[in-house]
Amino acid sequence: MMRTRPLKVALLGCGVVGSEVARIMTTHADDLTARIGAPVELAGVAVRRPSKVREGIDPALITTDATALLKRGDIDVAIEVIGGIEPARTLITTAFENGISVVSANKALLAQDGAALHAAAETHGLDLYYEAAVAGAIPLVRPMRESLAGDKINRVMGIVNGTTNFILDKMDSTGAGYQEALDEATALGYAEADPTADVEGYDAAAKAAILAGIAFHTRVRLDDVYREGMTEVSAADFASAKRMGCTIKLLAILERAADGQSVTARVHPAMIPLSHPLASVREAYNAVFVEAEAAGRLMFYGPGAGGAPTASAVLGDLVAVCRNKLAQATGPGESAYTQLPVSPMGDVVTRYHISLDVADKPGVLAQVATTFAEHGVSIDTVRQQGKDGEASLVVVTHRAPDAALSGTVEALRKLDTVRGVASIMRVEGE
C-alpha cells in the first residue's frame, strides 16, 4: 500500500553533485515514489551562497542555516554532499541526534572518522549510506558489504581516481609528458585548479581506507594507507613499461596477509601487464578488481566521478534508506569484528622496476647484482645499454619485502659506479 505522506529530504550542499541530485529528484519524482513506496520531497537545501542562481530549485527551499534545517523536526533523510571534514562532520552528527538517516558522498570524512559516524548512527538506530564516496556511479560499496557478505575477500586492486587515470592514459597513448597531460585534464575539467589531492594520491587513499574496512571487516583509517603520488612518472617510465609489455596506473591495493592475521592498504603508481583487465581502463574511468575466496575474481567498471554519475549513486542510497525508513529498519552498519592490524608498507611483498645510470665499465653489473643479493632480493631480468662511458641498467626484481627492496635502492645509491637512480616503480598484477 502506497503511503501518501512524503518522506522529507534535506540536501546539504548544492554544487555539481548536489544540483544533479535535486534535478533527478524532481524529474524522476514519480519513479522514485513507485520504487520507494512513498513520495519523496526535497524539503530544504543548505548552501553557503544563497544568491547564486540554481536552475530548477525553488528559491524558497534555499537556506544558509543547515543546523536549523536539520532541527526543524520533519526531516527524514539528509544528503550530505558538502565534502571536507567540517562542517560536514558536525552536521551529520546533528542529523543523527535529530532522528535523521544520512546519505553521504564524503570520502575524506568517512576515511578519517567513519568509525565514530557509524557508532553514532547505530546509537540512534539510523542509516549511514555512502556508495557515492568511493567510485562515483559504480556499484561497489553495497556489493562488497552485502552481496559478498558471506564470502571472504582477500584482495582489492583498482583505479579509483579518474583524473589520474586520464593523465596516465594520455601519457601512455600520446607520449605526452606529465605536465602536458595534466594541462589537458585541467582544460577538460577533469582536474581541479589545485590537483594535489588527485595526483598525490590523497583522494585514492581515502577511498582505499573505506574499501579496506569493508573488505576485511576491520577499521582502516586514512593514516593507515601508504600513499605515493604520480607526479614523478615520466615518458621514460612508460617507454620502459612498454618494453615489458606493461602500462602504468595509479592503483589502490588492499590485501589480506597469507596467514590472515593482518591487512595492508596502499596507493601508488605501478606497472601492470597489458593482459590485466585494469590495463585497458582508459580516459577518466574507474575500475576495481575484487578477489574473493568463493566468488573468484570480479571487476567493477564505470565513470568514477562527475555530477550525474555521482548523483546516481546518491539517489540509489536515498531509495534504500527511504525503504528502510518505511520498514522501520536499518541497513548494514559497520562490520569491524576482525580487528586486524594494518601492516606497514615495509612488510608488503612487491616487485620493483629500477632504472640506474651507471658507469660504462667492466664489473658494474656484478657489483649491482651483489648488492641485490646482500639484501636478499632476487633479480628477475636485467638489461644494460651504454656508450662513451655512460650506461643505463634496468633491473626487474622478483617479489620481496618492500623494506628489503628499499634498502637495496639505498645501498645502490652509495656505489661509486652508480651515477644515479633514474626511476623506481613497483610491478603489480602478475
Cα 373 to Cα 40: distance, rounded to the nearest angstrom: 66
**207 is known as an active-site residue:** yes
Cis peptide before 87 (omega within 30 of 0): yes
Read off the C-alpha cell for 212: 579496506
CB contact at 8 A, 270 and 128: no
Distances (CA, A) of 287 to 43, 137, 157, 222, 253: 35, 11, 9, 21, 12
CB contact at 8 A, 198 and 162: no
Residue in 170, 207, 249, 325 annotated catalytic: 207
CB contact at 8 A, 130 and 105: yes
Task: Name the residue among 42, 47, 43 with its Cα closest to residue 66.
Answer: 47
AA letter at 247: T
Output Rg (C-alpha) for the chain, integer angstroms. 24
Read off the C-alpha cell for 390: 655512460
CB contact at 8 A, 51 and 64: no
Which residues participate in catalysis according to the annotation? 207
